[in-house]
Amino acid sequence: MHNLEDEIQRINHSREQRTYFSNLIIKNPLLLPQLLDICTLVDEELSYRAAWGLEFLCKRQLSSILPYLDHFTALIPVVYQHPAVRPMAKICEYLAIGYYKDKQKDVVQQLTHRHRKKITETCFDWMISDQKVAVKAYAMTSLYLLGTEFDWVHAELKITLENNYPSSSAAYKARARMILKKIG
């Protein structure tokens, strides 16, 4: 059995390290609850390293997180360090795309109304708080897709994007223009 904390300490942004780590979890799925528990240590560096690994796992095999959506959706609003928030926002985007755009059967079956509401709330929190542009970009995409189900989301997203637009970075403005065009 692997010492998961030691493995997490070795994770960096290299594709090789993240691929190795995601393969470790895919081969040892019983490590996933422990990985999520480590993500909850929000004050520690180990937490965001775990989040990097979780994001890469979800990118490669989104179905891995589905049995743990209650845990994940409880975790996302409490994560606050940017190196951990960014991967959590990306996982939300993967879930939204899987549910609304790709209509992945397992995602549609397991991402409940309650999970989607929690993701919506958290993404709006990220949009109005002091987050870097990557987090906001992932949140915009998630909210756009969630807004195809929840009527009020597009109206609120449009107001948020328009209010933040003048003082935002070029990258934010580019994503906002794209989303605003889709909303109409």
pLDDT digits (tens, 9 = 90+) for 4-22: 999 999 888 788 988 899 9
Task: Give the per-residue pLDDT at 10.
Answer: 87
User: Per the confidence metrics, is the pTM higher than 0.75?
Assistant: yes
pLDDT digits (tens, 9 = 90+) for 30-43: 999 999 999 999 99
| Average pLDDT rounded to a whole number, residues 56-69 | 97
CA distance 171 to 154: 20
DSSP structural state of residue 79 = -
Is the C-alpha dihedral spanning 135, 138, 143, 144 positive or negative?
positive
CA distance 18 to 20: 5
**Three-state DSSP state, 74:** helix
Task: Give the per-residue pLDDT at 2.
Answer: 59
Q: Please, where are the H alpha helices in 28-167?
A: 32-39, 45-60, 69-75, 82-96, 105-110, 113-128, 133-146, 151-164
Task: Give the per-residue pLDDT at 33.
Answer: 96
Q: How far is CA 139 from CA 2, 84, 125, 160, in A?
A: 34, 14, 9, 12
**Percent of the chain having pLDDT more than 70?**
99
pLDDT digits (tens, 9 = 90+) for 103-131: 999 999 999 999 999 999 999 999 999 99
Q: Is the pLDDT of residue 1 over 50?
A: no
Q: Is the pLDDT of residue 165 over 50?
A: yes
